[in-house]
Chains A and B, each alone.
Chain A
Amino acid sequence: MSDSDAMTVFDRALVRRRRDRAAPGFHGHSFLVEEVAERLVDRLHDVRQGFTTALDLGCHRGELGRRLLAAGKGVETLASCDLSERMARHAPGLRLAADEEALPFAPGSFDLVVSALSLHWVNDLPGALIQLRRALRPDGLFVGAMLGGETLFELRRCLMEAELEIRGGVSPRVSPFAELRDAGSLLQRAGFALPVVDGDEITVTYENAFRLMAELRGMGETNAGLNRPRTPATRGLLTAAAQRYAELHAAPDGRIEATFQVVWMLGWTPHESQQKPLARGSAQHSLAQTLGTLEGKPPAGSA
């Protein structure tokens, strides 16, 4: 890749091909996206206001969009976009193919932008957040969920240890994910007001590590990092990793556990109605008055 630089972590063309390939059978592997979509719509119920126009960014086959339309939040117009045309064709509303890194929406097009498990494939997340903030009207809401850095730590560890043992070296076989601790400042830098960031963990059990890896392929979520190994993992390596996985991360019923960390980002586009700190020097009462002490004199007992 000639165009790779520090900002370019993911091969976007490969992300698109993976999603295209996953699209026809995605409904068989949509458990995680459906679960996150459910939680996202729950969060919207905590917000009093309704939203007339909404965008589902990275919509997969419309798992989130359909729930949003049924949620009674007043959405009359829903646009559903995905990097993969084949995914977007199954989504509800106004469908289109679009790249999160180069959004094709006029300023102020939406009251609400939601995104379930797509933004972790974006190279330039700050740039994407700025673009989607601009696509929102003032006092518009963005709620996004993406996979965070703790995701698949079990698989990562087992592959790494197995590869160390067999080859004496390691290569990154699981994609890097965004860190929870970065998300808040990203939102703020992108110009969102009242940002809220938190993390959720979803533990899913599978029969074995091979089933987990098949699920990841079915979701279109296999590694698309530019530094991914160019040689596929050998059967021997995968078997060793799967054995290790079964030993270290077994659920009580003998299945294996896989952790997905979901990083939630919520922010509003600035509007004068929102609470904000008062201007410096605009206080009507002195702090001393409030504390019941005399100004200029230290309270008795302090030395």
Chain B
Amino acid sequence: MTEPGRTEDQATPPSGARVDPKLLEILVCPLTKGPLRYDAEHQELISDRAHLAYPIRDGVPIMLVDEARRLDGEARDARP
């Protein structure tokens, strides 16, 4: 599911760490610069305009288009 070389570091905060609300206030979609919806249950930031869901891993938002899940009906983790 994750590519090799992307395993967790020792200094990774304990899983379940939540993203800081202050960060959510300033984040926008890197592609469209439009607003993001915070999906607390799946720990994702959703850009409706770009049809992308950016993952939040252990409280750290991964705002990279390459890492985002596409929302056009594709299954989760279908991307390489």
Contacts and interface: CB of A to CB of B under 8 A. Distances in A.
Interface of A: 13, 17, 20-21, 23-24, 77, 79, 81, 83, 85-86, 88-90, 94-99, 102-106, 109
A94 B26 CA distance: 11
Contact of A89 (B23, B60, B64, B67): B60
A103 B30 contact: yes
Contacts of B25: 106
Interface in B12-59: 12-13, 20, 22-23, 25-31, 33, 57-59
B29 A17 contact: no
Given A85-B57, A106-B27, A97 B5 contact: no
B74 interface: no
B23 to A, nearest CB: 4
A21 B4 CA distance: 11
A24 to B, nearest CB: 6
B20 A98 contact: no
A95 B13 CA distance: 12
Contacts of B28: 104-106
Contacts of B20: 94
B1 interface: no
B23 A97 contact: no
Contact of A99 (B9, B11, B33, B63): B63
A104 B9 contact: no
Contacts, number: 70
B64 A17 contact: no
B5 A96 contact: no
Contacts of B22: 77, 94
A23 B64 contact: no
Interface of B: 5-6, 9, 11-13, 20, 22-23, 25-31, 33, 57-67
A90 B13 CA distance: 10
Contact of B26 (A17, A89, A97, A106): A106
Contacts of A97: 60-64, 67
A109 B26 contact: yes
A13 B6 CA distance: 13
Contacts of A83: 64
B9 A98 contact: no
B79 to A, nearest CB: 13
B32 to A, nearest CB: 10
Contact of A102 (B12, B23, B30, B58): B30
A272 B12 CA distance: 44
Contacts of B26: 79, 105-106, 109
B58 to A, nearest CB: 8
A105 B31 CA distance: 11
